[in-house]
Amino acid sequence: MTARDKYRTLCRTEPSIPVFSQDWWLDTVCGREKWDVILKEEKGRLLAAMPLYLPIPHIVSMPPFTQTMGPWFRPVTEDTKYSTALAQRQEAGKMLASGLKKYSAFLQNFHYTVTDWLPFYWEGYRQTTRYTYLLNDIKDTGRMWENMSPHIRRHISRAGEKHRLSARRGVTAGELLRVHRLTFGRQGLKPRHTAVLERLVNTCLDRRQGDVWGGYDAEDRLHAAAFVAWQDSSAYYIAGGTDPALCDSGAHALVLWQAIRDVSRYTSLFDFEGSMLPGVERFFRGFGAAQTPYFTISRGKPGLWNRMMIKAATGGFIPIRR
């Protein structure tokens, strides 16, 4: 049995693996043959795992529409001493970091639950801190509304009361892609990986682990759309867009507010996935979400030829430079 086969079996039985590191997600965003995994085993039991996206051989990077990957460590029992658990994770982390040395360049965003990157530091890796924004206890909608900024509340109220918009789920992948393209077009950019996004939406729909919400007016025009995926531990805002001709209606805030309330049936945590862009960061923060750091870990840098190969393999997406 290959390492990937063992990891697939683990994904079917281990709920603590984040959705971005699940085998079905990796198959969808990377391609079945473009990812691998490093495992730490002991007496036939998997203690740690680290899936890797390989756009070209010897280069590890981040796949599209995937906020974090990084190492997974088997959860310890409640009676395990902190010092014991830390020592076990560091030992496993050092093994994973050492195993990555065969790759000429490495970049991954680690899940925010990975708070100790010392084993990678000891092996010569670099770290950059980034931020996501988390809404906790989303089942309490009254508390969420009170914690929102007045600016976001006004947007939501204006969308419904002034513009008579309604938010509903079940928007097609095609409609999401249309407003996604319009959003990029407003900035003079061309969206990347639209085929991957469409495939990801449909895969999540088939698995009942995702949906697309849209904001519609009385003429049934789609103002904004948001794609959200989820698992038991969290929901994640993956992608969205707003029609530039209708961007003043407050639809984006309304759509996200409806999506958050709907996914509270499946989980109690919502991850906006964060942004380092001031305007986007301010928008997410306005929902009352808590700023939460996560680590970008890197080593090496692709040469010009490898950068050209990555660009060709990923349609222009080079997250190693992110």
At 257-269, the pLDDT tens digits run: 999 999 999 999 9
Q: Is residue 237 part of a domain?
A: yes
Percent of the chain whose pLDDT exceeds 90? 80
Task: Indicate if the pLDDT at residue 321 is higher than 60.
Answer: no
Domain identity same for 308 and 253? no
Q: Is residue 284 part of a domain?
A: no
Domain identity same for 142 and 263? yes
Tell me which residue has tokens 């531990």.
Answer: 233
Tens of pLDDT, residues 239-259: 999 998 888 888 999 999 999
State the pLDDT at residue 299.
94
> ∠ at Cα 7 (91, 58), nearest 5°?
75
**Residue closest to 19 by CA, chosen among 304, 223, 167, 232:** 232
Number of domains in the chain: 2
Domain identity same for 258 and 178? yes
**Structure pTM?**
0.91
State the pLDDT at residue 314.
61
Domain identity same for 126 and 191? no
Total length of the chain: 322
Task: Indicate if the pLDDT at residue 307 is higher than 80.
Answer: no
Which amino acid type is present at position 226?
A
Which helix (H) or strand (E) segment holds residue 201: the answer is helix 194-207
Average pLDDT over residues 127-149: 95
Q: How far apart are CA 193 and CA 201, in angstroms?
A: 12
Q: Is residue 91 part of a domain?
A: yes
Tens of pLDDT, residues 31-86: 999 999 999 998 889 999 999 999 998 899 999 999 999 999 999 999 999 999 99
| 93: containing domain | 3-131+293-321
As given in the structure block, the two tokens for residue 29 are: 């965003």
Q: How far is CA 6 from CA 13, 14, 20, 23, in A?
A: 11, 12, 17, 11
Average pLDDT over residues 281-288: 92
Domain identity same for 188 and 125? no
Domain identity same for 191 and 72? no
CA atoms within 13 A on the CB side of 132: 23
Domain identity same for 185 and 257? yes
CATH code, domain carrying 245: 3.40.630.30
Q: How far apart are CA 39 and CA 207, in angstroms?
A: 26
State the pLDDT at residue 247.
80
Under a CB-based contact definition with an 8 Å cutoff, are residues 70 and 109 in contact?
yes
Domain identity same for 102 and 178? no
State the pLDDT at residue 288.
94
Q: How far apart are CA 1 and CA 21, in angstroms?
A: 20
Task: Indicate if the pLDDT at residue 121 is higher than 90.
Answer: yes
